Amino acid sequence: MDLINSQLILIDKIKNLIKKSKNKGLPVFKIATFYFAPYGNSKGYAKIIFEQNKLKGLILSLEIFLKDLYKILFLGKFKIIKNSNSKKYENIIVNWASFKDFDAKGNYQDKHFYTNSSKNLNTFWILILIDSKTPKKIANNIALIINEKKRFNLEFLWEIIKKSFKKNNFSNFYHEASYLSILANYFYNNLDKFIGKNTKKILMPYEGQPFQNAIFKKIHGINKKIKTIGFIHSFPIGLPLNLIKKDGAPKKIIVSSESQLYCLNNFLGWKEKDIQILPSTRLRYSKKINMSNKIFLPIKFESSKKIIENLSILVENLKINLSNIQIKNHPSCAQSKKHLKLMKEIKYVLKSTSQNKIKKNLSIFIGATGSVIEALERKVQAIHICENPTLESYSKKLWKFIQVQKINSYVYKYNILKRNKLIKFGNDVNLYKKYL
């Protein structure tokens, strides 16, 4: 089966799965089983793999299920730290935050919207803190959602088990036993604490995560007049199944290119009238980034053997000097032994090219990543080594304005057909106001 057909078939399978599950009464908007991100370790990802390989999918489902149970054992209670009445604000932004995002006065620097909470006094931020360290101060227009982690805590797990036994339904236990599902339920049950008569708009970087859909679903139930807006903060990977429109989706979705609009409208269930194109707040021409002559590693990969085999084939075909190319590890994996080992293996392969002719302005991308598209817009030729091409690789069918050349079943070369069509880079530092 060729790549394009396999992608289209998988989209249809996931759409049908969502539809059937909703008809059965399952709250698909707030459980991790229906977070179909084609990367990471969610139960939704396991379902995707199941559609490709049933045995592999079943094994992965069990593995993820057991890992989720283990995580829950070390999960504490969620707690809201709030300095003022959020109900008086017109706009609400929901985002993630780390300790380093706050200054000494407790103001938050929003890297997705490229703005600071101190400059937007009519906007209230609800922030999920991903660090264990909490800022000493938080500004009045900020609420922090923190998790009081414990060394060993059976409370969450026991509550889920009891609910499942009451319903006599193991399936319910499988769906609910996940950090993603627990976080979604927390927001769904506590969001009314933040919503008042003055609330007009709620905005967040959107990835189709359960807690995001739970928020939008709850908002629509509280007050249908409130505008709900999600924006795609980075370019999606080749097959963004997590962005298929489902129950709990925002009323409006913001993308940063015609190519994204085309994909969401023609394949992922979004109506064109509900999609708006605005320049990226995160990717800007003014921000000089050199993406040339590099190999970019993904946050997650399965087989270093497959990557090295295909890199070797690529090196043999290119006949260029790659011995001095820079290997860029994923920022989140700086201490990963698996990633460091792969980097050593890549360096060994590249040494064999030292006698070849030099060619500049080329970069190699490995695995699931949207950085391929950013590189193309920055006039860098992109080569993509995929572990799972159906999920990771780009096709002209789904994404307009991209030319694809197949080197082999796992390696693809891309060229841009028209600039500013894959990503519309931003320049305006106050662009976030247009999002609101």
- pLDDT at position 9 over 80: yes
d(CA 154, CA 141): 34
* Statement: residue 219 has pLDDT above 70: yes
pLDDT at residue number 85: 81
When pLDDT is cut at 50, 70 and 90, the band that residue 174 belongs to is: confident
What rounded mean pLDDT belongs to the chain? 89
pLDDT in tens, 97-119: 999 999 999 999 998 888 899 99
Nearest Cα neighbor of 359 from 317, 320, 316, 412 is 320
Each residue's pLDDT tens digit, 318-358: 777 777 889 999 988 888 999 999 999 998 888 877 666 65
pLDDT at residue 277 in the model = 94
What is d(CA 263, CA 269) in angstroms, rounded to the nearest whole number? 9
In this structure, the dihedral spanned by the alpha carbons of residues 117, 118, 121 and 122, taken in order and rounded to 10 degrees, is -20
- pLDDT, tens digit, for every residue of 12-60? 999 999 999 988 888 999 999 999 998 878 999 999 999 999 999 999 9
Question: Which token pair is 388?
Answer: 């799972």
Residues 134-154: pLDDT tens digits?
999 999 999 999 988 767 777
Average pLDDT score over residue span 360-381: 90
pLDDT tens string 252-299:
999 999 999 999 999 999 999 999 999 888 887 767 788 889 999 998
DSSP code of residue 370: S
| Closest to 431 in 3D by CA, of 280, 285, 287, 289 | 280
Q: How confident is the model at residue 90 (pLDDT cuts 50, 70, 90)?
A: very high
Please give the structure tokens belonging to residue 319.
């006949």
For residue 98, what are its two tokens? 């780390």
**pLDDT number for residue 393:** 96
Q: How confident is the model at residue 157, as a pLDDT?
A: 78
Q: What is the pLDDT of residue 360?
A: 64
Q: Give me the pLDDT at residue 48, please.
A: 95
More confident site: 285 or 414: 414
Q: For the segment 295-323, what is each residue's pLDDT rounded down to a tens digit?
A: 999 988 988 999 999 999 888 877 777 77
Lowest model confidence (mean pLDDT) among 160-164, 187-191, 247-251, 331-335 = 160-164
Least confident piece of the model among 42-46, 194-198, 261-265, 430-434: 430-434
**The predicted structure's pLDDT at residue 167:** 62
Characterize 56-94 residue by residue with b for buried, 16 or more Cβ atoms within 10 angstroms of its Cβ, and e for exposed: ebeebbeebbeebeeebeebeebeeebeeebeebebbbb
Around Cβ 319, how many Cβ atoms within 10 Å? 10
